[in-house]
Amino acid sequence: MSPMTTMDLLERTIVRSGHRLTTPRRRLLEVMDGLGDRFTADQVLAASPGVGRATVFRTLRLMQELGVVCQVVLDGGGVAYRLGSGGHHHHVVCSECGAVSDFASHDIEDLVAELGRRSGFEIDSHRLELYGRCQRCRATLILD
Q: Which residues bind Zn ion (CB under 5 A)?
A: 70, 82, 84, 94, 96-97, 99, 134, 137
Q: Judged by CB, which is closer to Zn ion: 28, or 69?
A: 69
- Least distance from Zn ion to the Cβ atom of residue 74, Å: 13
Amino acid making up residue 25 = R
- Least distance from Zn ion to the Cβ atom of residue 133, Å: 6
Amino acid making up residue 6 = T
- Least distance from Zn ion to the Cβ atom of residue 50, Å: 28
Q: Integer distance in angstroms from the first to the last C-alpha of the chain?
A: 45
Q: Judged by CB, which is closer to Zn ion: 30, or 96?
A: 96
Q: Is 93 exposed, middle or buried (0-12, 13-18, 19+ CB in 10 A)?
A: buried
Q: Judged by CB, which is closer to Zn ion: 53, or 139?
A: 139
Q: Are 40 and 28 in contact (CB under 8 A)?
A: no
- Least distance from Zn ion to the Cβ atom of residue 36, Å: 12
Q: Are 91 and 130 in contact (CB under 8 A)?
A: yes
Q: Judged by CB, which is closer to Zn ion: 62, or 137?
A: 137
Helices 53-65 and 23-34, axial angle in degrees (round to 10): 80
- Least distance from Zn ion to the Cβ atom of residue 129, Å: 9
Which bin fits 103, alpha (ψ -120 to 50), beta or left (φ > 0)? beta
Q: Judged by CB, which is closer to Zn ion: 28, or 94?
A: 94
